[in-house]
Amino acid sequence: MVVIRVLVSGACGSMGGYVCRAVDAAEDMTIAAAVDPAGIGHKLGEYMPDLSEDAQQIQVSGHLAATLQEAGPNVMIDFTAPAVVMSNIEAALSAGTACVVGTTGFSEIDLKTIQRMSESKGVACVIAPNFSIAANLMMKFAAEAVASFEYAEIIERHHEHKKDAPSGTAVRTAQIMAEAREGPLSVVPTERHNVEGSRGGALGNIPIHAVRMPGYVADQEVLLGSPGEILKISHETTSRECFIPGVMLAVRAVQALSGLTYGLDKLLTR
């Protein structure tokens, strides 16, 4: 069996912890290195005493480029922050390491830049704003339903530490819904805004409303309206474990891909 050597970028973060445990537990993967400036001088085992003996001994590095050279991983998994992810991807692709990226907050220009880098280096990159399989099904069902409605809005609800708004999932959902329609949706006009922004952020003709508060992990509701009825397609996350099967699927697939693959839906339909 070929064992995939994985570098975990953002290893000491919330998602990084789930990723390290899943990679460590997978028979066909091993943690080749862990990078996170917050963990410099510490071993992975100090954060995750439940890891295997070997994984516990891995020193957390703060220098991605040097660690890529030393460890020679096949795949980097990145769950870090919007401010650092572009340079992490560039470093990994330049080192010949394929990327699986869950960090959110990419602009259209960022994605085009990654596509160019990935093609020119001949190393693949998978980016998914949501690695949950159920959330991707929610997007698929919303895209299927949107042809039968004139009005749609998205409400997304996340924990209080989320740095960007709206969520990458909400943006991706709106994009997929817009692509699935022949013509644009309608938006109810508002004559007077008593509070600026209260109709949400508009992406195309789909208003998006972002809620941030403790208690939520990552939920989303797509509302589709017609006279006399509303269809609600909703997805609730109860634990961040839900992202792991999608991440593992991408890690197993990425080395056989080329260029940028954006969205887990592309891998689910293969």
**Residues recognised as catalytic:** 158, 162
Cis ω before 73 (30° cut-off from 0): no
Check: CB of residue 148 under 8 Å from CB of residue 185: no
110's tokens: 């960022």
* 131 binding ligand NAD? (CB under 6 A): yes
Site string for ligand NAD, 154-193 (x = CB under 6 A): --------x-------------------------------
Applying CB under 6 A, which of residues 3, 14, 59, 122 lies at the interface with ligand NAD?
A: 14
Site for ligand NAD in 235-264 (CB under 6 A): 243
C-beta closer to ligand NAD: residue 102 or 166: 102
Residue 163: which residues within 8 A CB-CB, separation 6 or more? Answer: 81, 82, 105
Amino acid at 44: L
Strands 229-235 and 260-262, by their bridges, are unpaired
Which residue is closest to ligand NAD by CB? 13
* 59 binding ligand NAD? (CB under 6 A): no
* 38 binding ligand NAD? (CB under 6 A): yes
Sheet holding 218-226, edge to edge: 201-203, 206-212, 151-158, 218-226, 229-235
* 79 binding ligand NAD? (CB under 6 A): yes
SS3 99: strand
C-beta of 223: minimal distance to ligand NAD in Å? 22
* 94 binding ligand NAD? (CB under 6 A): no
C-beta closer to ligand NAD: residue 64 or 152: 64
Check: CB of residue 51 under 8 Å from CB of residue 42: no
Interface contacts to ligand NAD, rule CB under 6 A: 9-10, 12-16, 35-38, 64, 79-81, 84, 88, 102-104, 128-131, 162, 243
